Amino acid sequence: MTNLEVIQELYRAFREKDYDAFQQICTADLTWIQNEGFPQGKTYQGAEAVIAGVFKSNNERWEMFSFQIDRYLDAENSVVVIGAYVGRHRETQKSLRAVAAHVYDLVDSKVCRFQMFADTKAIWDSMVR
């Protein structure tokens, strides 16, 4: 697979909660950097930490949570994905739309690093009554 195809597969795995596929896409020493100010934003090490701390946590907090992709930018060993988080917060029932960019670094067709840049105010606004 090309690096772009790897990232497209990562989003498929995320949408379908295919955590085994996600683990296969990532290196053992994966670094996953959530935006400062993002709910539970911090740096996670390893695919299992990302699955528990990011993906499963999002599923508990949000209804219909997803990342709508506007475009991919292929930059050799990096892929940038521009889009928006959308969903509805389970507790407040407020809708969410927050623009974001995801930057993936790859080595040998595996994701070794992720960094997110997101509009955290829009996210927090949907979480507060």
Binning pLDDT at 50, 70 and 90, where does residue 116 land? very high
Which residue's entry shows tokens 């497209």?
A: 8
100 pLDDT more than 80: yes
pLDDT of residue 54: 86
Binning pLDDT at 50, 70 and 90, where does residue 22 land? very high
97 pLDDT more than 90: yes
pLDDT tens digits for range 32-58: 999 888 777 899 999 999 999 888 877
Give, in degrees to the nearest 5, the angle at Cα 39 between 26 and 9.
Answer: 25
Model-level pTM? Answer: 0.91
Rounded Cα gap, residues 35 and 129, in angstroms: 22
